[in-house]
Amino acid sequence: MHKTPGAFFKPLAIGAPAPLRELPTRLERMIHFVPPHIEKMRAKVPDLIAKVDVVLGNLEDAIPVDSKIDARRGFIQMAQENDFGETGLWTRVNCLNSPWFLDDLMEIVPAAGDKLDVVMLPKVEGPWDIHYLDQLLAQLEVKAGRTRPILIHAILETAEGVKNVEAIAAASPRMHGMSLGPADLAASRGMKTTRVGGGHPDYGVLSDALNGQQRTAFQQDLWHYTVAKMVDACLSHGLKPFYGPFGDFSDPEACESQFRNAFLMGCLGAWSLHPTQIEIAKRVFSPEPGEVAFAQKILDAMPDGTGAVMIDGKMQDDATWKQAKIIVDLAKLVAEKDSSLAEVYRL
Ligand code: GLV
Ligand code: MG
**Model confidence pLDDT, tens digit, residues 253-262:** 999 999 999 9
Residue nearest ligand 1's atom 2 by CA: 181
Q: What is the separation of C-alpha 107 from the centre of its chain, rounded to a whole number of angstroms?
A: 24
For the CA of 183, the closest atom of ligand 1 is 5
The closest ligand to the CA of 183 turns out to be 1
Q: In this model, does residue 317 exceed pLDDT 80? A: yes
Query: Among 10, 19, 5, which residue's Cα sits nearest to residue 146?
Result: 19
Average pLDDT on 264-268 reads 98
Provide the pLDDT for residue 346: 87
Whether 178 lines ligand 1, by a CB cut-off of 6 Å, is no
Give the mean model confidence (pLDDT) for residues 190-219: 94
Q: Which residues pair with 270 in a beta bridge?
A: 30
Tell me, in angstroms, the distance from the centre of ligand 1 to residue 70's CA.
22
Residue with CA nearest ligand 1 atom 1: 181
Q: Looking at residue 44, what is its pLDDT? A: 98
State the DSSP string of 285-329. HSPPHHHHHHHHHHHHH-TTS-S-EEETTEEE-HHHHHHHHHHHH
Q: What is the mean pLDDT of residues 24-36?
A: 97
In the prediction, which pLDDT does 212 show? 86
Question: Percent of the chain having pLDDT more than 70?
Answer: 100
Atom of ligand 1 nearest to the CA of 197: 5
Q: Residue 341 contacts by C-beta under 8 Å, 6 or more apart in sequence?
A: 286, 289, 331, 334, 335
Give the Cα separation of 341 and 343 in Å (integer): 5
Q: Hey, which of 60, 123, 155 would you mutate to test ligand 1's pocket, going by the most ligand atoms within 8 Å of its Cβ? A: 155
Query: Which of 1-10, 11-20, 160-169, 198-207 has the least mean pLDDT?
Result: 1-10
Residue 92, strand partner residues? 58, 120
pLDDT at 227 over 90: yes
Name the closest ligand to CA 197: 1
Q: Distance between CA atoms of 15 and 293, rounded to whole angstroms?
A: 47
> 183 CB under 6 A from ligand 1?
yes
Confidence of residue 54 (pLDDT cuts 50, 70, 90): very high
- Evaluate whether 275 touches 214 at the Cβ level (below 8 Å): no
pLDDT band at 221; cut points 50, 70, 90: very high
Q: What is the dihedral of CA 199, 230, 36, 63, to 10 degrees?
A: -60
Q: Which ligand is nearest to the CA of 195?
A: 1
Task: Check pocket membership of 191 for ligand 1, CB cut-off 6 A.
Answer: no
- Mean pLDDT over each residue of the chain, to the nearest integer: 97
Which sequence spans correspond to the domains of the chain? 5-285, 291-345
Q: How far apart are CA 224 and CA 249, in angstroms?
A: 21
- CATH code for the part of the protein at 5-285: 3.20.20.60
CB-count burial class (<10 Å; 0-12, 13-18, 19+) for 151: buried
Query: Per-residue pLDDT averaged across 80-97, rounded?
Result: 98
pLDDT at 113: 87
Residue ranges near ligand 2 (ion) with Cβ within 5 Å: 157, 181, 184
Asked whether residue 96 carries a pLDDT value surpassing 90, the answer given is yes
Q: What is the pLDDT of residue 1?
A: 74
| DSSP 8-state symbol, 60 | S
CA distance 36 to 141: 23
Please state the atom number of ligand 1 nearest to the C-alpha of residue 60. 2
| pLDDT tens by residue, 144-174 | 999 999 999 999 999 999 999 999 999 999 9
Tell me the backbone φ, ψ of residue 249, rounded to 5 degrees: -70, -15
pLDDT at 228: 98
* pLDDT score of 91: 98
Shortest-distance atom of ligand 1 to CA 184: 4
Q: What is the CA radius of gyration of the chain?
A: 21
Burial of 65 (0-12, 13-18, 19+ CB in 10 A): exposed
pLDDT of 299 reads 96
Residue 208: band (very low, low, confident or very high) from pLDDT cuts 50, 70, 90: very high
Band the pLDDT of 2: cuts 50, 70, 90.
Answer: confident
What pLDDT score was predicted for residue 347?
80
Residue-level pLDDT at 170: 98
The model's pTM:
0.97
The beta strands (E) that lie in the chain are given as 30-34, 54-58, 88-92, 118-121, 151-156, 175-180, 204-206, 217-219, 240-242, 270-272, 309-311, 314-316
d(CA 38, CA 60): 14
**Count of other CB atoms within 10 angstroms of residue 85:** 8
Q: Are 166 and 208 in contact (CB under 8 A)?
A: no
Average pLDDT over residues 207-230: 94
Is the predicted pLDDT of residue 45 greater than 80, yes or no? yes
56 lines ligand 1 (CB under 6 A): no
